[in-house]
Amino acid sequence: MHIHILGICGTFMGGLAVLARESGHKVTGCDLNVYPPMSTQLRSLGVELIEGYGPEQLQLNPDLYVIGNVVTRGNSLMEAILNQNLPYSSGPQWLAEHILRKRWVLAVAGTHGKTTTSSMLAWILSFAGLNPGFLIGGIPENFGISARLTGESIAGANHDVSPFFVIEADEYDTAFFDKRSKFVHYHPRTLVLNNLEYDHADIFSDLASIQKQFHHLIRTVPGNGLVVANGREYSLQQVIAQGCWTPIERFGVPAEWIVKLSSEDAIEVYFNEVYQGTLNWDLLGEHNLMNALAAIAAARHAGVPSQVSLRALSQFKNVKRRMEIKGVVNKITVYDDFAHHPTAIRTTLEGLRNKVGEARIIAVLEPRSNTMKMGVWKDSLAQSLNIADQIFCYTDQVDWDVTSALESIKHKAVAYSQMQELINAVTFMAHAGDHILIMSNGGFGGIHEKLLLMLRK
């Protein structure tokens, strides 16, 4: 089959292209901006990439057009597809029908921690020899890729793929013609529900509208499956209370999956009050302990003993852009993190504070997500950043008054609309022993390397 993917350079659609290519399909694609690293990865697989959405791409004559949710009505290529009544599908639907069907899907959903927990789970299954396929919205450092069809040890023309597939289950909408969340297409047998807060204000009017989509997802899990749910989240309890036909294991609450600190400060894992083993790793924060419990529980459902999962997690290397150290210059450490929701900002800063103690933390934030740019979280911003000793906020894409939102912490917070002015200010402020945490869900104009260069000077 020849598929032509519209919006191919996004993380999800690019990963889908990798899976389609590894499955033997011919893949071409287009996007408004074709740029590395996704363009490099796809071209190395023999995927032809086209810049823009010109209707002349119909001359490729594919068997199917696969449409990313970045594509809207009015897109010239999409309009030509519709006018000529050509076959098209959404990315999640194509994935469900051609990759996930007949596989044991382990899906990780939630407002926070999806990428990290999915990466942990895929690594555990790989460590245990189950060779899973996966599609993750980031790059797990244990693998160096965001998607694969199956593990290398069993892949090949004369071998069946692994029955296991781990997927990061995003609640964002599927396509312009399918406003359900992407994850309703995946039909998981094992479902992780990490947490649930209001997000994506550009498509959801309130928390209840997101909860409705989560309940649609729960309805797709079979009776012989498992729902692994964060027992601390009232919003998830409300969703489950609407009806659940699948066994549930909860983490973070007594009598189910929990962690305890021993007298020697070892991290001990328990399930139903039975000791499972000790977790030895360097990851920061309570949120990562919760992610680990979710991954261990999900892997156990797939047949991996808890002790094996704990050994796997001792070798887990995290995900790029999750507290990733970009460089150390003159004893100043610069980190990159994907945090963009107030809860994620706060937990990331808490984790760093626990690591560095009294050392000074300089937080540099780009409010870039659609919800942040709309100002939905402006009243929560100051509180989420307050752990940092100094705060710099980049306001180039923000229409609301960031300075007013940071009024309660104005003694240590400042906003800049010009990138170079921001970099100069951070450089002037920094001194040996500082930890500079840069947070954005985008590229932030390459600020990391620019800042490191200035610090070297």
Sheet bearing 133-135, strands edge to edge: 147-148, 133-135, 164-168, 104-109, 190-193, 226-230, 248-251
b (16+ CB within 10 A) / e for 426-437 = bbeebeeebbbb
**Average pLDDT rounded to a whole number, residues 178-187:** 95
Q: Cα–Cα distance between 187 and 191 in angstroms, integer?
A: 9
Residues 59 and 31 sit within 8 Å (Cβ to Cβ):
no
pLDDT at position 117? 95
Residues 20 and 98 sit within 8 Å (Cβ to Cβ):
yes
* Percent of the chain whose pLDDT exceeds 90: 58
Residue 375 pLDDT level (bands cut at 50, 70, 90) = confident
The region, left, alpha or beta by phi > 0 then psi within -120 to 50, assigned to residue 395 is alpha
Mean pLDDT computed over every residue of the chain: 89
Kindly list the domain boundaries of the chain, sorted by start residue.
2-91, 102-313, 324-456
SS (H, E, C) 156-173: CCCCCCCCEEEEECCCCE
Listing DSSP states for 371-399 in one string gives HHHTTTTHHHHHHHHTTSSEEEEE-TT--
pLDDT at position 372? 76
Q: Out of 90-94, 164-168, 358-362, pick the least confident.
A: 358-362
Q: Cα–Cα distance between 35 and 37 in angstroms, integer?
A: 6
Q: Out of 138-147, 159-168, 368-377, 384-393, pick the least confident.
A: 368-377
pLDDT at position 49? 94
Residue type, 130: L
Residues 442 and 397 sit within 8 Å (Cβ to Cβ):
no
Is domain 324-456 in CATH 3.90.190.20, yes or no? yes
Report in angstroms the alpha-carbon separations of 415 from 379, 392, 444. 16, 6, 15
DSSP label at residue 144: S
pLDDT at position 67? 97
Helix (H, G, I), strand (E, B) or coil at 213: helix
DSSP label at residue 351: H
Which positions ≥6 away from 404 have C-beta within 8 Å?
A: none
Residues 146 and 11 sit within 8 Å (Cβ to Cβ):
yes
Q: Cα–Cα distance between 145 and 271 in angstroms, integer?
A: 32
**Average pLDDT rounded to a whole number, residues 196-217:** 88
Q: Cα–Cα distance between 322 and 97 in angstroms, integer?
A: 32
pLDDT at position 152? 56
For domain 102-313, which architecture applies? Answer: 3-Layer(aba) Sandwich (3.40)
Residues 218 and 239 sit within 8 Å (Cβ to Cβ):
yes
Tell me which H or E stretch contains 236: helix 234-241
CATH number belonging to domain 2-91:
3.40.50.720
The region, left, alpha or beta by phi > 0 then psi within -120 to 50, assigned to residue 192 is beta
Q: Are strands 248-251 and 226-230 parallel, antiparallel or unpaired?
A: parallel
**Average pLDDT rounded to a whole number, residues 392-402:** 83
**Average pLDDT rounded to a whole number, residues 438-457:** 85
Give 224-278 pLDDT, tens digit per residue: 999 999 999 999 999 999 999 999 999 999 889 999 988 777 899 999 999 999 9
Residue 441 pLDDT level (bands cut at 50, 70, 90) = confident
